[in-house]
Amino acid sequence: MLMTKLKAASAALAFAAAPAAADVDLQFYFPVAVGGAAANTIEELTQEYVAANDGVNIEAIYAGSYQDTVAKALTAARGGNAPQLSVILSVDMYTMYDEDLIHAFDEFATTDEDKAWLKSFYPAFMENSQIDGKTYGIPFQRSTPVLYWNKEAFKAAGLDPEHAPETWAEMVEMGKALTVKDASGNVDQWGVRIPSSGFPYWLFQGLTTENDVILATDGGTKTNFDDPKVVEALEYLVDLSKTHEVMAPGIIEWGATPKAFFEGQTAMMWTSTGNLTNVRKNAPFDFGVAMLPANKRRGAPTGGGNFYLFKGSDEAQTKEAFEFIKWITQPEQAAKWSIATGYVAPSPATWETDVMKAYTADFPPALVARDQLEHAVAELSTYENQRVTRVFNDALAAAITGEKTAADALKEAQAQAEAILKPYR
């Protein structure tokens, strides 16, 4: 009896001490796979907004990887308990649109100021943010793949440490000079490392773009996986290991790639500009950052996540979520985010802020991904996107591991993608 009374008294005190409920409560799903700095910065920005807006509470729910986040958001939305907003990959836009789970931002951007904001982002990022002229995603955690190189390794190999490969042929030539073997013939340092797990289609799309071919067209309803230029790009990727011996054979892990770079296991690596801050903090040597090497043209896919507004909440919640997204993507906040993480500031105005100018003056490599946007294309995105990319990733793996030829693997992938996407045309 005494314990019951103590519990009741404790509960009453806790209730009395608890703050009043916010007028507007928002749930915000955010992927934490991007690293600690990202989570910390999101928390700081979220709390800054809450402190400046009485009656608003935002619960930032760190939902795991990109794949985890979209799965949780979709499950919650389908169950009638969607978050008000979430950062989810730009390529998942068609899936959420097809299920009628997200709002078009145009519905809320009614003032001249709001309309100008919608038009303030880089066109390359908007290619994965709009459907039929309406905006369903707002660029935020966006990126492109870039090439990082170890300047000390270049110098040791007799190469110019200030000159990264500018073409496919140069990457092979330099890769041979940079591949170091011990007396027994075992490789201590590879020339280049292009991950083929995690997001294999994304880095491979750097090669297809450079070979002047687009993987998906017709508003996400058609793929070109078996195009001869795609086959040629995959053959080049396979030959980096099989023929030229400048890259480790087999599947190369995405997550282990920065560590391999830091530890001298590879002299060059392709990875996201979102790793820029990580590399700056942890590389024990002087490094460089460059656009991906060209073949028929320069080019790379955009990547990363957009903000989305989910349907299913009341009007006050949805409007407040819109206001928060608008606020956090303004130049000052976007600059803070970009500097903390290495992701590409999504609007030209952000790069004109004093803090961003100071940052890039001190660290010019941060400008590489921005400048590469001039040559960028939309990341592979279709309806049934996860199914289609799984088919494509499996084809890449089959060719990389030698299970199938590039031509055969891509022919089969195209047939499967065609069957998936035909109902949407």
Assess if residue 343 is contained within a domain: yes
Q: 350 and 313 share a domain?
A: yes
Query: What pLDDT score does 189 carry?
Result: 98
Has residue 340 been placed in a domain? Answer: yes
- Residue 1, in any domain of the structure: no
How many helices (DSSP H) and strands (DSSP E) are in the chain?
19, 16
- Distance of alpha carbon 356 from alpha carbon 319, whole angstroms: 29
pTM, whole model, 2 decimals?
0.90
Kindly state whether residue 43 falls inside one of the protein's structural domains.
yes
Q: What are the pLDDT digits (tens) for 179-188?
A: 999 999 999 9
C-alpha span between 414 and 227 (Å, rounded): 9
Helices (H), 56-199: 66-78, 93-98, 112-118, 123-126, 151-156, 168-178
d(CA 138, CA 150): 34
Same domain for 196 and 249, yes or no, is yes
Are 342 and 352 contained in the same domain?
A: yes
Q: What's the confidence (pLDDT) of residue 63?
A: 87
pLDDT of residue 198: 87
Q: Domain with 364 in it: what CATH number? A: 3.40.190.10
Residues 261 and 159 in one domain: yes
CA neighbor of 135 nearest in space, from 123, 150, 147: 123
Q: Are residues 220 and 170 in the same domain?
A: yes
39: confidence class by pLDDT, cuts 50, 70, 90: confident
3 located within any domain: no
* Judgement on whether residues 88 and 116 belong to the same structural domain of the protein: yes
Q: Is the pLDDT of residue 16 over 80?
A: no
How many Å from the N-terminal Cα to the C-terminal Cα in the chain?
69
* Whether the predicted pLDDT of 405 surpasses 60: yes
CB-CB contact of 396 with 196 (8 Å): yes
* Per-residue pLDDT at 341: 87
Do 352 and 410 lie in a common domain? Answer: no
- pLDDT value of position 242: 97
pLDDT surpasses 70 at 376: yes
Would you say residue 8 lies in a domain? no
268 and 389 share one domain: yes
Helix (H, G, I), strand (E, B) or coil at 124: helix
* pLDDT for position 10: 36
Q: Please give the tally of structural domains in the chain.
A: 2
377 and 127 Cβ atoms separated by less than 8 Å: yes
Residue 38's pLDDT band (boundaries 50, 70, 90)?
confident
Does residue 17 have a pLDDT over 80? no
Residues 102 and 222 reside in one and the same domain? no
State the Cα angle at 161 between 156 and 164, rounded to 5°.
Answer: 120
Structure tokens at 10: 């404790």
* pLDDT (0 to 100) of residue 33: 54
Q: Is the pLDDT of residue 11 over 60?
A: no
The answer on 401 and 390 residing in a single domain is: yes
Q: Is the pLDDT of residue 12 over 80?
A: no
Are 271 and 149 within one domain? yes
| Residue 162 and residue 296 share a domain | yes
Give pLDDT tens digits for 144-162: 999 999 999 999 999 999 9
Confidence at 2, pLDDT banded by 50, 70, 90:
very low
**Which is more confidently placed, 310 or 16?**
310
Distance CA 195, CA 225 (A): 19
Q: Does residue 258 sit within a domain?
A: yes
Average pLDDT, the chain: 93
Domain span at residue 73 reads: 24-143+303-377
The percent of residues in the chain predicted with pLDDT above 70, rounded, is 94
